[in-house]
Amino acid sequence: MRRFSKIPLRIGGLLLGLLLSWPMLAEETPMRVQVFAPFIEMHTGPGAVYPVHHVAERDEWVVIHKRRTDWFLVETRRGKQGWVAIDEMRQTRLEDGTPLPLTAYSEKDFRDRTWEFSFYGGDMEGAALLGLYAGYAFNENLSTEVSFSQALGDFSSEYLFDVNLVSQPFPEWTFSPFFTLGGGVIRTNPNATLVETEDRTDTTAHVGAGLKVYMTRRFFLRGEFRHYAVFTSRDENEDFDQWKIGLGFFF
Amino acid sequence: MENRTRFLFLSTAALLGLFNLSTGQAEEQLLGENLREELLVEPEIARREITEPNFDEEDFEIGVYAGLMNIEDFGTSAAYGLRLAYHGTESIFLEAAIGTSEANETSYEQLSGDVQLLTDSERRFTYYNLSAGYNILPGEVFLGGKYAYNSQFYLIGGIGTTRFAGDDEFTVNVGAGYRLLINDWLTIHLDARDHMFESDLLGESKTTHNFELTGSLSFFF
């Protein structure tokens, strides 16, 4: 018995150890590049507003530690560390003399995305709607999504869980339309102030259409309309409409 | 002697050059216009595969926070929560947070003795929200003459849900915060936030303001 009781402790210790060593582990295998521009400017922080405190000159070798947004933390041979903008990092070369291939995120990357995440707000038959979803793209035109939303009405709150397929016929358009089809469940919780009502869960199906707009870097906007049909256990089925707009990012 | 060798080499080179030029011209004349166009459109050059090197990208920030929350009409109590942020650019970030606090008794409940407006479980104040933030006023703070730390003041706002007194309420949050970067992955936050929602708990429907002041420790990964 005593032997078993130590296991959670050990696992805890292991997790703690991992957590503490994580930042160190992440800094493994730094990459070395040679400055090819006359010089590159090293800022004190990852942003153009932070002052330049050092420059690395042409032919100098620097080690790249990490990237944050479009900034790179580099270290010179003398141990000086600073953040360099992506445009200046493009003017460095690898050990074999080829330029360091770096891409800023663009509309093309949005088309080639694999994963997307977004949160949204909107309206569902007068109730405030909010939620989030994760999407996986099979190719430029077809993707699948899992979403979880909550609609907060005056008399009840509804939770919706949906799985849907999304078809995007014109991924190259800036304002790119999409069509969606899916199903899920809806759970209705009447407000505590109301009496003689009970929670219920029903299955749903929905059809919808919307627009995706690439903004900048890894961000995009998405607006959508959906029509839901609810298959209730009562005599007749219900249906309702949902409008939403969201801000998302992709990988 | 030297001059003669140089002359020999140069003349050979010139002859070869001329030869190349003339054969080139001859070939070009041989090619029909259509064929040339075809060559221009489809050059059979093997594309070099360019793969972006894998860096340790640290655009996410995760943190725990703790502080005080003033729940309107229900006093001030301890609050704590968890937040996850994604930094999209050097100034814009998105944040998802979940937090909780517990309501005290209203002054009416305290004065009247036995009356309880809410059950114990209804006193739990739990919220989640999704917000967008903008870093303004980036700066640097100095500790003594030797240490300097980067800092950012940010504005933040978003939407979410609050579960309180047995109901879920649509909640808007606005606030501001201060982020101090201890090193390139560890940060300290001070954050002030107003969570606003409509409530008819005490009779009349009104917009309640629930102020929260927290400090947090978070790290980039």
Task: Summarize pLDDT for B28-61 with one digit per residue, the tens.
Answer: 555 555 655 565 655 555 555 556 677 788 889 9
Q: What pLDDT is recorded for position B192?
A: 96
Query: ipTM, 2 decimals?
Result: 0.70
Q: Verify whether the Cβ–Cβ distance A69 to B220 is below 8 Å.
A: no
Residues of chain B numbered 113-152 and touching chain A (CB < 8 Å): 122, 130, 132, 135, 138, 140, 148, 150
The fourth-level CATH superfamily of domain A27-104 is SH3 Domains (2.30.30.40)
Do residues A230 and A240 make contact, with C-beta atoms less than 8 angstroms apart? yes
Q: What pLDDT is recorded for position A8?
A: 56
pLDDT band at A100 (very low <50, low <70, confident <90, very high): confident
* Separation between Cα atoms, residue B147 and residue B149, nearest integer Å: 7
Q: Verify whether the Cβ–Cβ distance A219 to B88 is below 8 Å.
A: yes
Q: What pLDDT is recorded for position A3?
A: 45
Chain B residue closest to A63 (CA)? B55
Indicate the range of A24-33, A236-245, B88-97 predicted with least confidence.
A24-33
* Of the candidates B216, B180, B184, B82, the residue with the CA atom closest to the CA atom of residue A24: B184
- Could you tell me where the beta strands, DSSP code E, fall in chain B? 60-70, 76-87, 92-102, 124-143, 147-164, 167-181, 186-199, 206-220
Q: Which 8-state DSSP code applies to residue B123?
A: G
How far does Cα A164 stand from its chain's mean position? 18
Q: Verify whether the Cβ–Cβ distance A249 to B94 is below 8 Å.
A: yes
Distances in Å between the Cα of B169 and the Cα atoms of B26, B129, B130, B206 are 83, 12, 14, 12
Q: Verify whether the Cβ–Cβ distance B89 to A217 is below 8 Å.
A: yes
* Maximum CA extent, chain B: 121
Length of chain A: 251
Domains of chain B, by residue range, sit at 2-41, 60-220
- Please tell me if residue A32 touches chain B, with a CB cutoff of 8 Å: no
Cβ contacts from A onto B, under 8 A: 105
Mutation for A interface: B128, B184, B218, most A CBs within 10 A: B184
Within 8 A of B184 by CB-CB distance, chain A residues are 65-66, 73
Please, what is the average pLDDT of chain A? 84
SS3 A50: coil
Checking if the pLDDT of A1 tops 50, the result is no
Within 8 A of A152 by CB-CB distance, chain B residues are 161, 168-170
Neighbour tally for B131: CB within 10 Å:
22
* Separation between Cα atoms, residue A104 and residue A146, nearest integer Å: 28
pLDDT band at A4 (very low <50, low <70, confident <90, very high): very low
Q: Verify whether the Cβ–Cβ distance B167 to A217 is below 8 Å.
A: no
Chain A residue closest to B158 (CA)? A121
- pLDDT tens for each residue of A104-153: 777 888 888 899 999 899 999 889 899 999 999 999 899 999 999 999 88
Q: Which 8-state DSSP code applies to residue B29?
A: H
- Higher per-residue pLDDT: A217 or A213: A213
* Separation between Cα atoms, residue B149 and residue B141, nearest integer Å: 5
* Separation between Cα atoms, residue A205 and residue A184, nearest integer Å: 6
CATH T-level topology, domain A109-250: Porin (2.40.160)
Q: Distance from A239 to chain B by nearest Cα, in Å?
A: 23
Length of chain B: 221
* Separation between Cα atoms, residue B58 and residue A11, nearest integer Å: 27
SS3 A172: coil
Q: Which of these CATH numbers, 3.40.50.970, 2.40.160.20, 3.40.50.300, 3.40.50.280, describes B60-220?
A: 2.40.160.20
Q: Verify whether the Cβ–Cβ distance B88 to A45 is below 8 Å.
A: no
Q: Verify whether the Cβ–Cβ distance A23 to B86 is below 8 Å.
A: no
Helix (H) or strand (E) holding B30: helix B2-30
Q: Verify whether the Cβ–Cβ distance A49 to B138 is below 8 Å.
A: yes
Q: What pLDDT is recorded for position A193?
A: 62
Chain A residue closest to B170 (CA)? A152
Q: Distance from A190 to chain B by nearest Cα, in Å?
A: 9
Please, what is the average pLDDT of chain B? 82
Q: What pLDDT is recorded for position A27?
A: 46
- Please tell me if residue B17 touches chain A, with a CB cutoff of 8 Å: no
Domains of chain A, by residue range, sit at 27-104, 109-250
